[in-house]
Structure 1
Amino acid sequence: MPKKMIAEGLGTAILVLFGCGTAVIAGGDVGHTGISLAFGLAIVAAAYGIGAISGAHLNPAVSLGMMMAGRMTPGQFVSHAVAQVAGAIIGAAILLVIASGKADYSLAGNGLGQNGYGAGYLGEYGLMSALTFEFVATFIFVTVILGVTGPGSVAGFAGLAIGLTLTAIHLLGINVTGVSVNPARSIGPALFVGGKALGDLWVFIVAPLAGGALAGLVHALGFTRASA
């Protein structure tokens, strides 16, 4: 279990550092497409690097979906989630140290790639749009993960499929919420940024967990599973 927790923590730190880091440090150069690819490629790297150790969930919503699908125990879910949140905080802290080295960087002005919605945030989409997007996108994401790691899947391609799915989700949703689909990814940056990021955080905990749980339940019932 400690080895799995270390792997989940490390992988989630990589996700936050590469994904959020690209948004903060290089977002003006690479745009939304580049940021989307950074999140997707980070997942691919982690999936092939540590997947054999912990499954490379890197996301409490994914772990909850796995538990609802009967692939994890409640205790395993808790340990994974704790490690993922800790890893996200470490990743955000590393990003803050790096970004702070730029003379004109400010935490209040530039942030850490935190999620949000409403007035003053990217496309200024409202609460219902944010909740709907995060719930549906997480449901789709976890459904794909359960499918490509389950019976009948093509061996060796799971990491690529998962990474490309996360990329597509970001291409669609960056303007809506900055894309969470992952409570840990949202918690890490928000703890440092504070203010509105913390006020909006509940959306990026509740909606992804609900979407992940539903995906796991639907999979357990056999509707999205290759074999009953």
Structure 2
Amino acid sequence: MLYRVTLGILLLSWLLKPHDIVAQTENRKMFVFYSVQHQPLSSSKGASYAIETEYLDSVRATERVYWAPQKLRETATFSNLRLRRRDGETIVYYNDGTIKRREQYRDGVRQGEGFAYYPNGKLRRHDRYDDRSRKSEECFDAVGNSVDCDTLALRDVCPNAEIMPGKSAPIYFPSKALKLGIEGVVKVNFTVSRTGQLADVQIVESPSHILSAAAVDAIRRAKWSIRLDNCDPVDVRYTIPITFAIK
């Protein structure tokens, strides 16, 4: 009798071990349909999309989102599904099944490389993340030409607007100012018109007219992007400090 009781206690303690409780949730799948208003439905009737969740344990899971009917829209892995903490690769698809975006995450934070594609499969954007911040970015138009990433973002919002990408110009330290030991900050005030033209350039503050001329020259040689307000180009007034320092 004592042998049976002891065996029963050992068996019960083994059954209640944490790893066995976790094992009960492993590979558990859920498939839920949702309406346009993101409300869960009891069947596919009237569904706008569906989410398949495959639990790896009590918190980790892989999630697949489908367009109706049954077209894969997104796949993602989570280190904590309840907290929506992504970990690993997330892939987003266009309606026809081609890849729209690939992103890497580590414990809820973007990490590593990210890629975005046009519907024709050409690369649209390439980002690199490290230490919780974007370290580099490259953007391309639909035929593969390199474009400014801010310009590309504006085209998404205002596809019919004519957007002029900005481009800075090198600033040259005047040799005369170097010889005289003149340095300091020049503040320049100017307007970029709705057509991208520079207008009404004024020196707000400057230690020398020599540096003022160099600052204005750099601003005039730069290409300035057109600012949009509700997709309409507008005039914008800027004040920019340019530092000339002798090292």
Q: TM-score w.r.t. structure 2 length?
A: 0.18
Structure number having the greater helix percentage: 1
Which structure is richer in relative contact order (CA contacts within 8 A, separation 6 or more)? 1
Structure richer in strand, relative to its length: 2
Q: Structure 1-normalised TM-score?
A: 0.19
Select the structure of larger CA radius of gyration.
2
